[in-house]
Structure 1
């Protein structure tokens, strides 16, 4: 099983011009430390809102939108998944990096070991892709959406620095990218 940062490295390795929305806290810090890009929206707050932000972006443009989210965040706002499934944009991919804990707030356990979030997403209408070994993210990007890729990862956070961009810098350069 991969660590979260290893999974994010593999995802970034197959991206081309996709827009990325990344869950707050350590996932955003890990993505930023691997590869900073104006195509990446690093969430600094609003836990549970990454799928909703990704949905809005997917509905507003043709580029593929990849949402990197965690089980704790997904569980905080299942309504965002329901709405994304109901709107069914073909260019939306939600990658669940499932470490079975709230990794950015002290690694308290979530219920993802009791509730299969892939089954939940499938019942909503997502095209669910499950990975138990080495994830094939190229395959994920080739599927019609909305896609829900369930990627189990080891608990723990990488030792990475904080993002040294202000919230204003993050949003301004991201919006410039989306508009281009």
Structure 2
């Protein structure tokens, strides 16, 4: 399964949750699949979607879903420790792992040899799962006692998704209005 289909699988369960999406192609794919005012599309700042999601989860009552990639998580592994330490009960971090930096040319990442799920478990995430082994709708609808880490193994490759036709200011403004 490619990331586009993985995002589609998750988004069919999303209703009023806040969604933060990793840079580049993942944001373009989410925009094509299900554009919503309460989606925040990263257009830069690789590695910071999880940190932005953490801040929002700590300031919001709604569930916050973060779509991140293996390359971005590797770039900012400290975010996993911080998320675990702050432990917002309304944060679900989904890491799409295609073993490559998909938005910068498909260079290999070290997740070919390193298991991000095991890293999350070793940090202490009690709710850490492989996407294929869970019912995401149940996780989304259940009140969690801890943050959730979901590892979603996917195939490399990007969908032929169009460029997002919103300016960064438009994305920010409509997002901020949606989460008030």
Verify same fold: TM over 0.5.
yes
Query: 1:105 corresponds to which residue?
Result: 104
Task: Name the structure 2 match of 1:131.
Answer: 131
**1:157 corresponds to which residue?**
158
Please say if residues 29 and 161 of structure 1, whose CA atoms lie closer than 8 Å, have aligned partners that are also in contact.
yes
Considering only aligned residues, what root-mean-square deviation do their CA atoms show, in Å?
1.2
Give TM-score, length-normalised by structure 2.
0.95
1:49 paired residue number: 48
Which is worse superposed, 4-13 or 140-149? 140-149
After TM superposition, the structure 1 stretch with the greater mean CA deviation from structure 2, 138-147 or 40-49, is 138-147
- Extract unaligned runs of 5+ from structure 1: none
Q: Distance in 2 between matches of 1:39 and 1:137?
A: 20
Aligned residues: 177
- Are the equivalent residues in 2 in contact too, given 1:140–1:149 (CA < 8 A)? no
**In the alignment, is the contact (CA less than 8 A) between 1:129 and 1:140 conserved in 2?**
no
- The 8 Å contact of residues 98 and 150 in structure 1, kept in 2 or not, is answered as yes
Distance 2:143 2:76 in 1: 24
1:146 — aligned with what? 147
Indicate yes or no: 2:63 matched with 1:64: yes
TM-score, normalised by the number of residues in structure 1: 0.95
